[in-house]
A and B are shown apart, each in its own frame.
Chain A
Amino acid sequence: MNPRYERNIPALTEAECGILRGKRVLVVGCGGLGGHLIDMLARIGIGALRVVDGDVFEPSNLNRQLLSEVPLLRVRKAKAAAARISRINPEVAVEAEDSFLTNENVHRLLLACDAVLDGLDNIESRKMLAAACAQAEIPYIYGAVNGWVAQAAISMPGDHLIETLYPEGATLKNKSVLSFTPALCAAMQVSLCVKLLIGRPVEAGTIYYFDLLNQEFESIPMT
């Protein structure tokens, strides 16, 4: 087998590695969560990654966003993400979309995807993406962070998990995110995604909640 994937074995079987190489995953957002998501997905050997972000790197990204570097300030995030994927694993087919998620582009971006990973930073876009995933019958791997807290889940079409989590008028207290919080959240999201793609058992509709300040970890059945 390709030596690049030797250490995937035996945690994954060779057949499971082959399954992953046949999958296409959409990552929406190339910031705090998205940078880690993209890195892990490329290294484990997902065959095709479609990455989406309409933003550029700013100095305030440097405290947590894996893809941000001083030489990349003002560089387009989607372009930087595609370049990093190619440097990590040239076997991954990359499509980069240098735009924000909209009602106009979301359905096109979902075409031929096996799963969607949430690297978004706001509630409205999550609701839009979750609704489009439900319509297209594609699993949505949710992740969100704030300060010391991360939470992740698999939302399957029709479970309305995101609507349940963010009732009308839900507000976010602040935009603080520490360096390690998105890394943990992304690790949970990618592990859920990989298990889903290779057919290992997963609990959809359960929120995995991590409070790194108080060392509290909860599994919360929501649906």
Chain B
Amino acid sequence: MIEVRVFATLRQGRDKVTMLSPEGIACAGDILDRMRIPREEVSILLINGFHQKPETPVKDGDIVALFPPVGGG
């Protein structure tokens, strides 16, 4: 399974942690599609603690963390 943790406003309407079957998931972008998260709503995308791009491959056992853009002042 792939563990997906979402933070801040990405939790609106979603669980803090979602376990996804790796079937049909090749890269981090596939996870965003599966969870219906638009690309522009993700600022930090961590795979096993390292910032990566949506094109980066993911595999069974990975932990993915998603943070939305924070931009106010």
- A positions within 8 Å CB-CB of B: 29, 31-34, 118-123, 126, 143-151, 164-167, 169-177, 182, 207, 209, 211, 216, 220-222
Contacts and interface: CB of A to CB of B under 8 A. Distances in A.
Contact of B7 (A32, A33, A211, A221): A211
Size class of the contact patch on chain B: 10 to 19
Contacts of B39: 167, 169
B44 interface: yes
B8 interface: yes
21 contacts: A31-B73, A32-B72, A32-B73, A33-B73, A118-B73, A120-B73, A122-B73, A144-B71, A144-B72, A145-B73, A146-B9, A149-B8, A164-B51, A166-B43, A166-B71, A170-B43, A171-B69, A172-B71, A176-B72, A209-B67, A222-B44
B8 A211 contact: yes
Instruction: Provide the main secondary structure of the chain A interface.
Output: mixed
Given A171-B69, A172-B71, 14 more contacts: A34-B73, A118-B73, A120-B73, A121-B73, A145-B72, A146-B70, A148-B8, A149-B8, A166-B71, A169-B39, A170-B40, A172-B69, A174-B9, A222-B44
Of all A-B residue pairs in the complex, the 8 with the closest CB atoms, nearest first, are A121-B73, A169-B40, A33-B73, A170-B69, A144-B70, A146-B70, A172-B71, A149-B8
